[in-house]
């Protein structure tokens, strides 16, 4: 998958909702995303560029309303301070294309204690069998 480099390329590649979330730092409504309850084995990739972000092995049910992971694939995400909406949070961005994925919090399970709270529209799921 070729990585979009200009906002025009992102607009052509992404749906309007994906563009709003990933390029304009929006958030999908709680419990609305297709991956909130998904528990199949596989990989979660960036919907904009295909960068591998998370393994289903790190996904867990946090009941926060968005897909949650306790760890990201090494080198796949970067972090940025986010003081929008009167809050102090840590934004999670794709290292490959810089798209907004969600936020990370320090209230997750072991072994990391992290909760990567990620918008479903920012993800594409790739099923992987153990056979």
Any idea which residues carry the catalytic annotation? 117
Q: Which residues, at least 6 apart from 67, have a Cβ–Cβ distance to it below 8 Å?
A: 33, 35, 36, 38, 44, 59, 117, 118, 119, 120, 123
CA–CA–CA angle 56, 64, 79 (5° rounding): 70
């Amino acid at each position: 998958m070729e990585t979009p480099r200009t906002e025009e390329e992102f607009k052509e590649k992404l749906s309007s909702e994906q563009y709003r979330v990933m390029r304009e730092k929006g958030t999908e409504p709680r419990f609305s995303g297709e991956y909130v309850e998904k528990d199949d084995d596989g990989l979660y990739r960036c919907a904009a560029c295909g960068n591998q972000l998370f393994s289903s092995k790190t996904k867990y049910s946090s009941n926060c309303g968005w897909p949650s992971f306790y760890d990201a694939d090494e080198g796949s995400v970067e972090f940025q301070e986010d003081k929008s909406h009167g809050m102090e949070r840590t934004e999670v961005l794709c290292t490959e294309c810089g798209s907004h994925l969600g936020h990370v919090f320090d209230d997750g399970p072991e072994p990391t204690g992290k909760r990567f709270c990620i918008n479903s529209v920012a993800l594409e799921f790739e099923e992987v069998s153990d056979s």
